[in-house]
């Protein structure tokens, strides 16, 4: 397989300082929040790459940078060999952007309540001035709805049906890459299964590549080919799905698996995760996970670990393996 998406040294820093006058009066310095730091990974064509981690780990920020809603502070995002931050070849960037779509977390907030479903679905084509006749009806039937639903408004549908409409909109421009930002977290469990199965079927039918963002390990195990684990904006482990679930090597990944609900886990005694995610404005020195890590040593407190290959996995830990 060839890498369709190449992420290299990706970083994003947000200025969260108070307004200038407040800082002058209170004599405060500027404050910067590092949401993503030095993240690198590849996504092969027609595969599913999942990003997992606790809230605040930078998953959605990476997704927004891939799709172009946020610009990177450092590093690069290449899709199909084109750097999206490049200003050298605007036509190539525009062509690649047409191949990217996004499915958002909340189907209630990502649909315009004033538009009919037909107009919502064909919006990507309208922007590109492409033909739209019959497209909405065809896509609605492909995602398990009725062609007659094209004349309705979003409030006339359930949550699962709205997410199907969002999927239909994402498919309208015939993309190669779809960024899925927790697409089922706002849905009931039974509806989640229907939407996930639909996405799997569409991936096979259209040859899609997914970047799947989730905090639900059960969903990730069902969908992903390769999984990247994020902690405080950094990629701490990456491995094929089966290997990661069989042998998690980073202490943080092991903590996530221990904390996850299990069908056969009634009555089990599991030590709860220690501590909270540190402040991203003032992160710990060395390895950011060391205040919560049972394996931490003085080396972990002083020196940030670098990604290294262990078998078919990549791990950023001084003591992994």
CATH number at residue 16: 3.40.50.300
pLDDT of residue 128: 84
Instruction: Confirm whether 118 is domain-assigned.
Output: no
Separation of alpha carbons 317 and 260, rounded Å: 22
Query: Exposed e or buried b for every residue in 220-255, given b needs 16+ CB within 10 A?
Result: bebbbbbbbbbbbbbbbbbbebeebbeebbbbbbeb
pTM over 0.85: yes
What pLDDT band is residue 11 in, cutting at 50, 70 and 90?
A: very high
Q: Average pLDDT, whole number, for the chain? A: 89
- Give start and end residues of each alpha helix (H) in 247-304: 251-259, 298-302
Rounded average pLDDT over 282-291:
90
Where are any strands of DSSP class E within the chain?
Answer: 3-15, 32-44, 48-52, 74-79, 82-83, 100-103, 177-181, 209-213, 226-231, 234-240, 308-310, 313-315
pLDDT of residue 81: 87
pLDDT of residue 266: 60
Instruction: Confirm whether 121 is domain-assigned.
Output: no
For residue 19, what is the DSSP state? Answer: P
Residue 185, pLDDT above cutoff 90: no
Separation of alpha carbons 101 and 307, rounded Å: 30
pLDDT of residue 103: 93
Torsion 201-206-211-213 (CA) sign? negative
Residues contacting residue 319 through CB under 8 Å, at least 6 positions apart: 251, 295, 297, 300
Instruction: Confirm whether 160 is domain-assigned.
Output: no
**Residues shown for the chain:** 321
Instruction: Confirm whether 117 is domain-assigned.
Output: no
- Count other Cβ atoms within 10 Å, centred on residue 123: 16
Rounded average pLDDT over 137-152:
93
Instruction: Confirm whether 39 is domain-assigned.
Output: yes
Separation of alpha carbons 262 and 249, rounded Å: 20
Rounded average pLDDT over 294-320:
91
Residue 90, pLDDT above cutoff 90: no
Backbone angles phi and psi of 59, in degrees to 5: -60, -55
Three-state DSSP class for residue 10: strand
Instruction: Confirm whether 288 is domain-assigned.
Output: yes
Separation of alpha carbons 292 and 301, rounded Å: 11
Instruction: Confirm whether 76 is domain-assigned.
Output: yes
Neighbour order of strands in the sheet with 209-213: 100-103, 177-181, 209-213, 48-52, 226-231, 234-240, 313-315, 308-310
pLDDT of residue 84: 84
pLDDT of residue 88: 67
Range of the domain at 36: 3-99+175-263+271-315
Q: How many domains does the chain have?
A: 1
pLDDT one-digit tens code per residue, 212-253: 999 888 889 989 999 999 999 999 999 999 999 999 999 999
Instruction: Confirm whether 126 is domain-assigned.
Output: no
The two beta strands, 313-315 and 308-310, are antiparallel
What pLDDT band is residue 186 in, cutting at 50, 70 and 90?
A: confident
């Amino acid at each position: 397989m060839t890498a369709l998406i190449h992420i290299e040294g990706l970083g994003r820093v947000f200025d969260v300082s108070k307004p200038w006058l407040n800082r002058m009066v209170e004599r405060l310095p500027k404050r910067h929040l590092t949401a993503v730091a030095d993240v690198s990974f590849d996504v092969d064509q027609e595969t599913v790459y999942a990003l997992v981690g606790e809230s605040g780990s930078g998953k959605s920020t990476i997704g927004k940078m891939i799709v172009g809603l946020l610009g990177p502070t450092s590093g690069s995002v290449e899709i199909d060999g084109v750097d999206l931050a490049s200003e050298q070849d605007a036509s190539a960037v525009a062509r690649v952007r047409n191949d990217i779509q996004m499915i958002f977390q909340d189907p209630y907030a990502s649909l315009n309540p004033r538009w009919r479903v037909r107009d919502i679905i064909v919006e990507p084509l309208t922007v590109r001035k492409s033909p739209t006749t019959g497209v909405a009806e065809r896509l609605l039937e492909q995602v398990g709805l009725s062609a007659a639903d094209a004349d309705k408004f979003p409030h006339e549908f359930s949550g699962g049906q709205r997410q199907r409409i969002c999927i239909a909109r994402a498919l309208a421009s015939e993309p190669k890459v779809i960024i899925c930002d927790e697409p089922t977290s706002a849905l009931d469990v039974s509806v989640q299964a229907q939407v996930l199965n639909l996405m799997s079927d569409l991936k096979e039918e259209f040859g899609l590549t997914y970047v799947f963002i989730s905090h639900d390990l059960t969903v990730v195990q069902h969908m992903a080919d390769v999984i990247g684990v994020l902690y405080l904006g950094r990629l701490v482990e990456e491995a094929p799905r089966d290997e990661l679930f069989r042998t998690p090597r980073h202490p943080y990944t092991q903590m996530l698996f221990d904390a996850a609900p299990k069908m056969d886990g009634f009555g089990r005694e599991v030590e709860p995760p220690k501590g909270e995610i540190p402040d991203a404005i003032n992160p710990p020195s060395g390895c950011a996970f060391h205040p919560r890590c049972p394996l931490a040593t003085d080396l972990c407190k002083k020196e940030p670990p670098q990604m290294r290959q262990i078998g078919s996995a990549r791990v950023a830990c001084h003591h992994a393996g």
